[in-house]
Structure 1
Amino acid sequence: MLSLFRVVSFGVELPDDYLAAVQHAVSEAGGDIVELENFTNDRFKATILAVGYDGDTAAGLSALRAAVKPVITDTLGTAVMPAELAGPHRKMLIMDVDSTLIKQEVIELLAEHAGKHMEVAALTEAAMRGELDFAQSLHARVETLRDLPVDVTERVRETVQLSDGAAELVEAFLDAGHVVGVVSGGFSQILDPLAEDLKLHYWRANLLGTAEGALTGLVDGAVVDRAAKEASLREWAEAENIDLAQTIAIGDGANDLDMLAAAGLGVAFNAKPAVREAADAAINIPYLDVARLFAGV
């Protein structure tokens, strides 16, 4: 049987020798390049190959991804996905927030106001590498915020910056009639206004406890952890009657791994090594809207 794939190469610059190496790898793996399309904007360049493969989808994905993997560099990427992901079906994009949708880690911004930035940053890094249990790490980090005034969340919210290309990515999916959601191990006090501004369909995050005008140092309710992120993907896709094969998940840390694995395409964004290795695709340049090309949006 013939299976069709989309092979997307991208970089701030995209040298001819890199593209030639990708095409050679695809051909050597049994891929038949039937079409080539170039893309450029003011941030990055890309080349999209339409590739046929004599075999089923699983075999084709395995062969083509293995073939291009040795060609990929720290600044030049290539992703392989089934061609149907760029088809006319309604899709869902779901993203992590901290260091993915936005440039910063919100817990670290809050910790600066408590004079605990270095301590909290070290815990965050270890949790994102998967060295610490996320929920335990989160409770320890939130504890450092005890007695900060509630309005610190407003001051932090004003400093939050979207990742480059994030607004363009969200707008493109929404304009095409697709569903966009975000799920965060961060905090509703920061995420809610941002999600409303971006006109997202769904969002979920932890809630910082408050009492008498101050943070309590506790998380109210269940922690949004690795399992909750995957559950959110499945819940929202089901609610929108979207097949999981038509979902794209993007994240950077160990607590995103289950969500990335459950999605039709799991994308690591400037991620920790273990996440890059486990993901279906990796974006190693600071432009989130590269992911538009994976879905043909």
Structure 2
Amino acid sequence: MQITAYVVHIHRADASPALSSGALTAAVSHLGTVVGSEPLTAPQVYDDATHAPGVAYAGLRLAVEDADVDSLRAAAAAALDAAGVPGPDKWEGPERTGESVAVVPAALLQAPTKLLVMDVDSTLIQQEVIEMLAAHAGREEEVAAVTEAAMRGELDFAQSLHARVEVLAGLEASVVDSVREQVAFSPGARDLIRALRAGGHRIGVVSGGFIQILKPLADELGLDFAVANDLEIADGRLTGRVVGDVVDRAAKEGFLRRWADELGLPLEATIAAGDGANDLDMVRAAGLGVAYCAKPALAVEADARIDLPRLDVLGVYAGI
């Protein structure tokens, strides 16, 4: 007999959950033996820069022996559905309640060293940087529409990136510094990274955005790896092009695998988190794939969802 998975139920602390702890326990107990339960609570947190609130949450973590992870996930999803909590396949627009259940393999929680690889725009940070840059060219709405379509998986990411970057041609390079100063981390991001570093875990970020924005943020947070697209600059102005290969969904998965290999970690000890279709491949490949306040295209594929604006919930899933 051994613990094979942990079932984590998260909901807003200021609202009664639709799924009771008893109903969740009953839903999974026929698949394995529930050998322990632990209540989860966390106060409201605030982003350091903007003081944007991340709601307080509560929940429950169950330890389950001798159960199949996929079967537990199916049972948890069915329990949520029976309780009336809409899943991503039933969201209309941004509809979500903040209530979710994640089933985490014990192998991940028990790994002595874990690797977290995150997307950046709308995951580590609250904004989409390319839209902020496009605002300086008076093209924000146009670029935002293309970004949304790409994140829903309706457009080829590389082609959409080239089209969006073209509108930046001629902007003074100093706009990059202005945008970087406006970037705000997602609520709970700093707490999550501090906890990971304190536990000796490793952190990488891989972005379809731009290294000129990302590198200073990665340095500030003390991250181990950081990769993004490189905006071409000539004579002090943006050319409307990127240098080198585009960081697309295949590249993101490639970096997840490369960094795990460099660290000597199995994929079972990795976590990948993002919000859009460009993150699909790495989320599928990781030991635990997490959709953070995500578009349905990613949320329906991920192992776990965070539907609350708090990135540090990821640490609860990972046992940090």
TM-score, L = length of structure 2? 0.88
* Whole-Å separation in 2 of the counterparts to 1:256 and 1:270: 13
| 2:162 is the alignment partner of 1:139 | yes
| 2:70 is the alignment partner of 1:62 | yes
| 2:104 is the alignment partner of 1:81 | yes
Question: Which residue of structure 1 lines up, in the alignment, with residue 10 of structure 2?
Answer: 10
The equivalences for 1:106-125 within 5 A come to 106-125=129-148
| 2:310 is the alignment partner of 1:281 | no
8 Å Cα contact 1:12/1:44 also seen in 2: yes
Find the residue that maps to 1:125 and give its secondary structure. Answer: helix
CA offsets, 1:43-96, max 9 Å, x none? Answer: 222311111135xxxxx1121100110333332111001112111521100000
The equivalences for 1:137-216 within 5 A come to 137-216=160-239
TM-superposed CA distance for 1:20, in Å, is 2.2
* Whole-Å separation in 2 of the counterparts to 1:62 and 1:193: 39
* Whole-Å separation in 1 of the counterparts to 2:266 and 2:222: 22
* Whole-Å separation in 1 of the counterparts to 2:236 and 2:25: 60
CA offsets, 1:206-262, max 9 Å, x none? Answer: 010111110000001110011110000011111111111000000111110000011
Question: Which residue of structure 1 lines up, in the alignment, with residue 64 of structure 2?
Answer: 51
| 2:249 is the alignment partner of 1:226 | yes
8 Å Cα contact 1:18/1:71 also seen in 2: no
* Whole-Å separation in 1 of the counterparts to 2:107 and 2:35: 16
| 2:284 is the alignment partner of 1:261 | yes
Decide which moves more: 218-227 or 73-82.
73-82
8 Å Cα contact 1:251/1:268 also seen in 2: yes
Give 1:215's aligned amino acid: L
Aligned length in residues: 291
TM-superposed CA distance for 1:2, in Å, is 5.2
* Whole-Å separation in 2 of the counterparts to 1:19 and 1:194: 39
Decide which moves more: 3-12 or 121-130.
3-12
TM-superposed CA distance for 1:103, in Å, is 0.5
* Whole-Å separation in 1 of the counterparts to 2:72 and 2:111: 24
CA offsets, 1:99-123, max 9 Å, x none? Answer: 0000010000001110000100000
Aligned-residue CA RMSD (Å): 1.3
8 Å Cα contact 1:207/1:221 also seen in 2: yes
* Whole-Å separation in 1 of the counterparts to 2:266 and 2:216: 29
- Where structure 2 has 5 or more consecutive residues not aligned to the other structure, the ranges are 44-55, 86-96
Give 2:6's aligned amino acid: R
Question: Which residue of structure 2 lines up, in the alignment, with residue 21 of structure 1?
Answer: 23
Q: 1:41 to 1:5 in 2, by over 3 A?
A: same
Identity of aligned residues (%): 52
CA offsets, 1:160-204, max 9 Å, x none? Answer: 010011111111111100000000000011001000000000000
Question: Which residue of structure 2 lines up, in the alignment, with residue 57 of structure 1?
Answer: none
CA offsets, 1:255-284, max 9 Å, x none? Answer: 100000110000001111121111111111
- Where structure 1 has 5 or more consecutive residues not aligned to the other structure, the ranges are 55-59
Find the residue that maps to 1:158 and give its secondary structure. Answer: helix
8 Å Cα contact 2:203/2:223 also seen in 1: yes
* Whole-Å separation in 2 of the counterparts to 1:109 and 1:152: 9
Find the residue that maps to 1:278 and give its secondary structure. Answer: coil
| 2:318 is the alignment partner of 1:290 | no
TM-superposed CA distance for 1:27, in Å, is 1.8
Question: Which residue of structure 2 lines up, in the alignment, with residue 90 of structure 1?
Answer: 113
* Whole-Å separation in 2 of the counterparts to 1:101 and 1:92: 15
Find the residue that maps to 1:36 and give its secondary structure. Answer: strand
Q: 1:113 to 1:160 in 2, by over 3 A?
A: same
8 Å Cα contact 1:110/1:152 also seen in 2: yes
TM-superposed CA distance for 1:3, in Å, is 5.2
Give 1:35's aligned amino acid: G
